[in-house]
Amino acid sequence: MNQIDLNMVDWARAQFALTAMYHWIFVPLTLGLSFLCAFYESLYVRTGKEEWKKIAKFWMTLFGINFAIGIATGIILEFEFGTNWSNYSWMVGDIFGAPLAVEGIVAFFIEATFFAVMFFGWNRVSKGFHLFSTWMVAIGSNLSALWILVANSWMQYPVGMTFNPDTARFEMHNFWDVLFSPVAISKFTHTTSSSFIVGSLFVITISSWYLLKGRHTAMAKKSILVAAVFGLLSCLYAGMTGDESAYVNASTQPMKLAAYEGLYTGRTHADLVAIGVLKPGPVADDDPFIFSVKIPGLLSLLANRDSNGFVPGIKDLVYGNTGQNIMGVNAKMELGRMAIADLASYKNAKKAGDESQQAVSLKKFNANKDYLGYGYLAKAEDGIPPVQTTFYAFHIMVALGCLFTFFFLVFLFLGFKNSLERNRWLLKLGVISFFLGLLASQAGWIVAEVGRQPWVIQNFLPTHVGTSNISAGNVQATFFMFLVLFTLLLLAEVKIMLKQIKIGPEEV
């Protein structure tokens, strides 16, 4: 194996975080707002009222500004797997490449083709076909989310594949297992429903600002009603799918679950931490909290669907727990190191043409191959993700998700009573709500991605093994290139967006 440059690993991770998080500023808005545009235009086509058309066109203008930068920041992600994570690309390309290609074939072309109609087709195609195109943009964007999330889910829960020692890579043997894995289903539904929330909050933010300023009030109120209904339904759905995600985590990524719950010592009848402040630094005793509010037994209920079920803590998972039949990271590391040695001796025997040694090494390798990834860890504690980051990100996400549910309810209630303008405190909260939505959405991805460290492929490939064999200087250089360029484009986007909001629907 090549020598690993840890500095390079850090820069490559920083770059992935940077580009993915920039991209994720724009994507949830695309996913959510595309449907809202489709709703508004549907109302126009059904009622024939010009005001709905004006509303639809206004939100489409903002959608278009956001969509362009979403595309710009997205292309790099598809190729970054190759440039910075070339060993990863080789080792899992047989499985991971497929959803990316499918995404291109079945989803991106729908977006690209119908986006042009949505924006330039008002006078070129029929009313019905235009509406159809708007719907296709919404469906196409969400379909592309499906495929990239299938790919991501496979990294979290690698199924339908086996390791081939001859090619030194993982190879797919069941596409359906990859597509319909429980992680893929919960991740897709949770990610899209939470993005619908972000899209709805965007509409409410801008409409609230109009109401505070007393401008475009009729349009703002109409926009709010539709967005609040969509947002509320999405909140309920996001709650259900979030619960499902945690339940799936309990069996597929128990370490992640333990990290975002701050659970160091496993127990039956485990409590759910509603609010908590973790002690800084390493945890010595059983109570990692300075302060916490706990709900008795709820974690066991959520994780096992049984309030008496056992939920393993970080210590159980790292050092093992014979009583609960849990093998620790330390034990897995030993088996993993044996697997790596047997793989090397298999390779050597193959090179030397020694068939009997080849067979012996292969047999030994196969016995421990499920622990291959653990062999690359330096110490058992490396199996623990950054607990503080994961814990706080998770709790921020959940708290905001609950807040949004009430928020949409109140907006809906006051919207129907036509008394939004009298509640200026609510409108002020409305103006910042989109930014809270973005925060919750980013926090969700931090839980998903930081919480699964040290793995890029859960249990099989540690992150530091996946990089390209290039010097840190190259990655550092491109990191700053992206930072400068994306920041510049973001500033341009925000300025343009603010100007269009100021101009408002009248002139668009």
Partner 1 sequence: MIGNLDYATLQQIWWILASVVGSLFLFLTFVQGGQTLLWQIGRTEQEKSLVINSLGTKWELTFTTLVLFGGALFAAFPKFYAVSFGGAYWVWILILFTFIVQAVSYEYRKKPDNLLGSTVYELFLFINGSVGILLIGAAVGTFFTGSNFVVNEYNQVRWTHPLMGLEAAFSLFNLSLGLFLVFNARVLGAMYLVNNIDFKGVADFEARIRRSCLMNLLYALPFLLYVLVSLLVMDGFGFDSNGVVSMVPHKYLANLLAMPQVLGLLLAGLVLVIWGVVLTGLKSSDKGIWFGGLGTVLVGLAVFFLAGFNNTAFYPSKATADLQSSLTIYNASSTHYTLTVMTYVALVIPVVLAYVAWVWRQMNAKKLTTDDVTGNKAY
The residues in 165-194 that bind partner 1, with binding defined as CB under 8 A, are 167-169, 171-173, 175
Q: Which residues face 292 on adjacent strands?
A: 276
Region binding partner 1 by CB under 8 A among candidate stretches 215-223, 236-244, 405-413, 497-505? 497-505
Region binding partner 1 by CB under 8 A among candidate stretches 27-35, 180-188, 428-436, 484-492? 484-492
Note the Cα 106 to chain centre separation in Å.
21
Q: Is 498 in the site for partner 1 (CB under 8 A)?
A: yes
Contacts of 271 (CB under 8 A, 6+ apart): 294, 295, 296, 297, 298, 299
| CB neighbours of residue 479 within 10 Å | 20
Smallest distance, partner 1 to C-beta of residue 505, A: 12
130-149 residues in contact with partner 1 (CB under 8 A) are 133
Smallest distance, partner 1 to C-beta of residue 145, A: 15
Smallest distance, partner 1 to C-beta of residue 113, A: 5
Smallest distance, partner 1 to C-beta of residue 100, A: 4
Smallest distance, partner 1 to C-beta of residue 366, A: 18
Give the three-state DSSP class for 122: coil
Judged by CB under 8 A, the residue of 9, 33, 117, 201 near partner 1 is 117
Q: Whose Cβ is closer to partner 1: residue 176's or residue 425's?
A: 176
Note the Cα 287 to chain centre separation in Å.
30
Give the three-state DSSP class for 326: strand
Judged by CB under 8 A, the residue of 6, 7, 47, 109 near partner 1 is 109
460-479 residues in contact with partner 1 (CB under 8 A) are 468-470, 474, 478
Judged by CB under 8 A, the residue of 10, 54, 113, 327 near partner 1 is 113
Q: What are the b/e assignments for 287-322, b being 16+ CB within 10 Å?
A: ebbeeeeeeebbbbbbbbeeeebbbbbbbbbbebbe
Of 25, 435, 405, 432, the closest CA to residue 234 belongs to 405
Contacts of 459 (CB under 8 A, 6+ apart): 158, 370, 371, 373, 374
- What is the rounded CA–CA span in Å between residue 453 and residue 475? 20
Smallest distance, partner 1 to C-beta of residue 375, A: 14
Rounded (10°) angle between helices 50-84 and 472-507: 180
Smallest distance, partner 1 to C-beta of residue 445, A: 21
46-105 residues in contact with partner 1 (CB under 8 A) are 64-65, 67-69, 71-73, 75-76, 78-79, 81-87, 89-90, 93-98, 100-105
Q: Whose Cβ is closer to partner 1: residue 78's or residue 287's?
A: 78
Q: Is 362 in the site for partner 1 (CB under 8 A)?
A: no
Q: Which residues face 164 on adjacent strands?
A: 169
248-277 residues in contact with partner 1 (CB under 8 A) are none
Q: Whose Cβ is closer to partner 1: residue 63's or residue 407's?
A: 63
301-320 residues in contact with partner 1 (CB under 8 A) are none
402-461 residues in contact with partner 1 (CB under 8 A) are none
Smallest distance, partner 1 to C-beta of residue 159, A: 14
Judged by CB under 8 A, the residue of 54, 337, 347, 364 near partner 1 is 347
CA distances 89 to 80, 157, 174, 191, Å, are 10, 17, 19, 24
Smallest distance, partner 1 to C-beta of residue 212, A: 21
The single residue listed with the structure tokens 């991501």 is: 152
3-state secondary structure labels for all residues of 441-481: HHHHHHHHHHCCCCEEECCCEEHHHCCCCCCHHHHHHHHHH
Q: Whose Cβ is closer to partner 1: residue 432's or residue 498's?
A: 498
DSSP state of 321: B
